Amino acid sequence: MSILKIEGLSHRYSSAWAIQDINLNIDQTGVVGLLGSNGAGKSTTMNILCGVLNQTAGSVYINGTDTRKEPESARKQIGFLPQNPPLYTDLTVDEFLTYSAELRLIENNKINSAVEEAKERCGIAHFSTRLIRNLSGGYRQRVGIAQAIIHKPKLVVMDEPTNGLDPNQLIEVRKLIREIGTDYTVLLSSHILSEIHLLCREIVMIEAGRIIFSDTMDAFNNYVQPNSIFMRMESPPPASELQKIKGVTKVDFLNSNQLRVYFDNEEEITERLIAASVQYGWRLKEINLDKPLLDDIFKQLSTQSIA
């Protein structure tokens, strides 16, 4: 059974469509990235998933439960961490998580164990009696994650979970999110491509309210084929000699021994360059395909969606 299934999801604000015909299926644990620029439709999609907003059309199923027909049952299976977690900062960590457990309708005799387990999982057990307002940004975020998983939901939705954290806090929260992904299905929304790349096994990209890419991170990385090669030689030839090789379109020298060779779609360009180096004594020491930048892939996908 799918943990999250979305069919033909669309929503309109007044006369403008925020999202149209969103289809998605997630059937295993792990972190799935929801990527898109600001205004692409990510927040609308998440608000519908979490029951905050009723869609104009389409269906959402959480572990087989229709969110429209059985909203209460569906919400029991969702954990949500908004971009700005609604923490009650005048409560201690224990008080807040106990309150969160009660909101999630956890049985009274199981609340204490649920709180303890969530604290241990999120590394905040040593702050049990501390007021939330006295915690650092990173530990406040951990409290937010703890409330999202305290009832052991099937789906955990996180909206920009690392936003505003300093570099040290960022590393720790990323590690925690990866660990959460081993036991839960996590849908993580962000407009920061590097964050999605570091945390997610799969990626769903939304632009202009539509899904324009849905596949593994490896497939995303390989979406744009490389068109240049980095070379390091002890006795490199002039650029004009390299440009005589079939497939080479341009040569840029980075310094006296390092250069970047641009090529068209010739499949055997690497073999030709190596053979020429051996033949003419260029003394090749290193040769690597240049991978396209993540931002370049994002830009190309976005451009195609607009076109």
Same domain, 107 and 161: yes
Cα separation, 274 vs 278, whole angstroms: 6
Report the pLDDT value the prediction gives residue 217, as an integer from 0 to 100.
Answer: 85
Report the pLDDT value the prediction gives residue 268, as an integer from 0 to 100.
Answer: 85
pLDDT in tens, the chain (307 residues): 799 999 999 999 988 899 999 999 999 999 999 988 888 899 899 999 998 899 999 999 999 999 999 999 999 999 999 888 889 999 999 999 999 999 999 999 999 999 999 999 999 999 999 999 999 999 999 999 999 999 999 999 999 898 888 888 888 999 999 999 999 999 999 887 788 888 999 999 998 899 989 999 888 877 766 778 999 999 999 999 999 999 999 999 999 999 999 988 767 889 999 999 999 999 999 998 877 666 667 676 766 654 4
Question: DSSP string of 56-68?
Answer: SEEEEEETTEETT
Report the pLDDT value the prediction gives residue 15, as an integer from 0 to 100.
Answer: 83
Residue 300 belongs to some domain of the structure: no
Q: Given the DSSP bridges, would you call strands 4-13 and 16-26 parallel, antiparallel or unpaired?
A: antiparallel
Report the pLDDT value the prediction gives residue 226, as an integer from 0 to 100.
Answer: 72
CB atoms within 10 A of CB 109: 7
Q: How far is CA 213 from CA 14, 36, 40, 189, in A?
A: 27, 10, 13, 14
Report the pLDDT value the prediction gives residue 304, as an integer from 0 to 100.
Answer: 60
Same domain, 217 and 234: no
Same domain, 213 and 279: no
Residue 279 belongs to some domain of the structure: yes
- Kindly report the CA angle at 83 between 8 and 163, in degrees rounded to 5? 120
Could you tell me the residue range of the domain that residue 246 belongs to?
A: 228-291
Same domain, 141 and 212: yes
Same domain, 160 and 16: yes
Nearest to 202 by CA among 31, 24, 10: 31
- Kindly report the CA angle at 160 between 154 and 166, in degrees rounded to 5? 125
Tally of domains in the chain: 2
Same domain, 78 and 154: yes
Cα separation, 1 vs 183, whole angstroms: 16
Do residues 91 and 143 make contact, with C-beta atoms less than 8 angstroms apart? no
Do residues 38 and 61 make contact, with C-beta atoms less than 8 angstroms apart? no
Report the pLDDT value the prediction gives residue 227, as an integer from 0 to 100.
Answer: 79
Tokens of 206: 């939304």
Report the pLDDT value the prediction gives residue 303, as an integer from 0 to 100.
Answer: 65
